Chains A and B, each alone.
Chain A
Amino acid sequence: MTALLETGGLSAFYGDFQALFGIDLSLEPGDCMAIIGANGAGKTTLMRAIAGTVVRRTGQVSLSQRDIGGLAADQVAALGVAMVPEGRKLFPSLNVEENLLIGATVAQKGPWALAGIYDLFPVLREKRHAPATSLSGGQQQMVAIGRALMGNPRLLLCDEISLGLAPIVIKDIYAALPKIRAAGASVIVVEQDIGQALKVADHVHCMMEGRITLSGRPADLARDAIHDAYFGTVSAGTGHAVH
């Protein structure tokens, strides 16, 4: 089986500052990958480098073996990559339904349409004529996910979708993930919450300072090793992390 997404030696820069250093990743169709790491580890930059919103990048990015490294964000989107951006980034001039519809601008054929999104997040149906930014944080996150799904993406990038939300709301949102995967999308979630990431993902990659420091299946990864990779500490032989 060929990988859906592959990166090879992917680096990214903001001006003179290098934020990513040679990232190698591979995502099989249907899989869910989690990228974990602390603030500033380069997770969001990695999402942007895949989606094409980073201006300067080097190395390879390919989608189903097609090189997308040189494409602009709108061209990447047209190939079926959708992003739920960090901070949701809903359009304040658009109401809920218009925000969802704008997600269908370059829609592929697929299972997701307005009705499907409203079934997935019933609360949005009631609020569909409300300005998007008048909703609560969790509801806004649902709009952002719905907006991305409206394009029927092959690959869904979720950047920090639990950030700043109450645990109960996070649970509701993550409850949608299995349905999204069942409908056919492969998913990459970026998380700071290690526990949440281990629960949903088939593969976990831990990032620190723009590099991948640890990779593996959740079951194969020891908590201490993740902790070390996350915070950059060196573990002692006994398994205690040194702070």
Chain B
Amino acid sequence: MLFIDTLVQGVLLGGLYALFAAGLSLVFGIMRLVNLAHGDLIVLAAYLMLLVVTVLGVSPFVALLICAPAMFALGWVLQRFVLNRVLGEDVLPPLLVTFGLSVVIQNSLLETASADSRRLPAGDLVNASLPLGPVNVGVMPLATFLSAVAVIMALQWIFFRTALGRRFRAVSDDPVTAGLMGIRPKSIFALATGIAMIVVTIAALYLGIRSNFDPAIGPARLIYAFEAVIIGGLGSIWGTLAGGIIIGVAQTFGAAVNPEWQILSGHLVFILVLLLRPRGLFPRAYD
């Protein structure tokens, strides 16, 4: 009973981690870029929503609709004017720039929003739960998980069923030849990062409603997201969901044994998976 309960909670927590990871996975799949500021951008989006909620007095879900386009624009500008300049053979410059960006975002938030913990207000929803078979599940964790599945289905649909997705895949395969087809890879990259930032905003919504956040928590979210992406296999979006679930389940079981072990057991499972399956669980056939 306890086992099933822990398992279900872990799977649902995995949905949150998959949301953290989906944007990272998308960007990596298309341009082989790891954005070390990803976690901080999630936190930034949470603060942005808090600002909208506070100023306009709307619910966080309405704030999402306002903030998502803003975050899309931010991602587009960031890619177009900064990150595109450092893409290339050398992996160092993008790491340096995104790490620098991470420090900039964290400390800017620290100065403007203070180090206090904040939370997005969602009224009674936070504590609501409903019986699901033998266990009670929280409404918010369930909504998070379903949102993660929906986001991944949407990304999958864009990727494999639309003209834009075709361009994403073509540019990912071979940017030079894509250029011969009249596609400008750098514009495609800017769109991809913009879309990733919409996913980041959705992730920030659930992060902010379910738990407290402060400017310093970004890097830890990046690590969970990164672990989910690697466990799932680079560039596999469904694999990212599986990776998120594995981290989530590992953490809840760790926490069930000893609360101090929650985060640690997630990391250890990640290391274990990587030792056994260096390319993740669902690697792409080619790369």
Instruction: Say whether A and B bind each other.
Output: yes
A18 CB-CB contact with B under 8 Å: no
Which one of B163, B177, B179, B184 lies within 8 Å of A91 (CB-CB)? B177
In the complex, per-residue mask of A17-60: 1 if CB is within 8 Å of any chain B CB, else 0: 00000000000000000000000000000000001110000000
* B window 138-194: CB within 8 A of A: 163, 166-167, 169-170, 172-174, 176-184
CB of B181 within 8 A of CB of A77, answer yes
17 CB < 8 A contacts A-B: A72-B184, A73-B179, A74-B181, A74-B183, A77-B180, A91-B177, A91-B178, A92-B173, A94-B166, A94-B169, A98-B169, A101-B163, A102-B170, A102-B181, A103-B181, A105-B181, A151-B182
Name the A residues within 8 Å of B170 (CB-CB). 91, 93-94, 102
Distance of A87 from chain B, by nearest CB (Å):
10
Given A91-B173, A91-B174, A92-B286, A73 contacting B180 (CB threshold 8 A)? yes
Q: Assess the B181–A147 pair: CB atoms within 8 A.
A: yes
**Interface residue ranges, A against B (CB under 8 Å):** 51-53, 72-74, 77-78, 82-83, 85, 89, 91-94, 98, 101-103, 105-106, 147, 151
Contact with A along B80-91 (1 / 0, CB 8 A): 000000000000
Report, nearest first, the 8 A-B pairs whose CB atoms are least far apart.
A106-B182, A77-B182, A73-B179, A93-B169, A89-B177, A91-B173, A74-B184, A91-B170
Majority secondary structure of chain A interface residues (helix, strand, loop or mixed): loop
> Are A93 and B163 in contact, with the CB atoms below 8 A?
no
Nearest CB of chain B from residue A48's CB, rounded to whole Å? 9
Smallest CB separation, A151 vs chain B (Å): 7
A105 x B180 contact (CB < 8 A): no
Number of interface residues of B (CB under 8 A): 18
When chains A and B are docked, how far (Å) is the Cα of A103 from the Cα of B163?
Answer: 11
In this complex, what residue of A is CB-closest to B284? A93
- 9 further A-B pairs in the complex, CB-CB below 8 A; given A85-B177, A147-B181: A52-B179, A53-B179, A72-B179, A74-B179, A78-B182, A91-B169, A98-B169, A102-B170, A105-B167
B253, chain A: closest CB distance, angstroms:
37
Report whether B286 and A151 are in contact in the complex, using a CB–CB cutoff of 8 Å: no
Q: Which chain A positions have C-beta within 8 A of B183?
A: 74, 102, 105
**Distance, CA A93 to CA B172, complexed state (A):** 9
B176, closest chain A residue (CB): A53
1/0 per position for B221-248, CB-CB distance to A under 8 A?
A: 0000000000000000000000000000
Cα A156 to Cα B214 with chains together (Å)? 57
Q: Is the CB of B166 within 8 A of A101?
A: yes
Provide the bound-state CA to CA distance between A91 and B172, in Å: 9
How close is A184's CB to chain B, nearest CB, in angstroms? 19
Contact residues in B for A147 (Cβ distance below 8 Å) = 181
A77 to B184, CA, bound (A): 10
Is B180 in contact with A51, judged by CB distance below 8 angstroms?
yes
Inside 8 A of A105's CB, which chain B residues have their CB?
167, 181-183
B window 83-111: CB within 8 A of A = none
Taking CB as reference atom, which chain A residue is nearest B286?
Answer: A92
A153 to nearest B CB, angstroms?
Answer: 10
B177-217 CB mask vs A (1 if < 8 Å, else 0) is: 11111111000000000000000000000000000000000
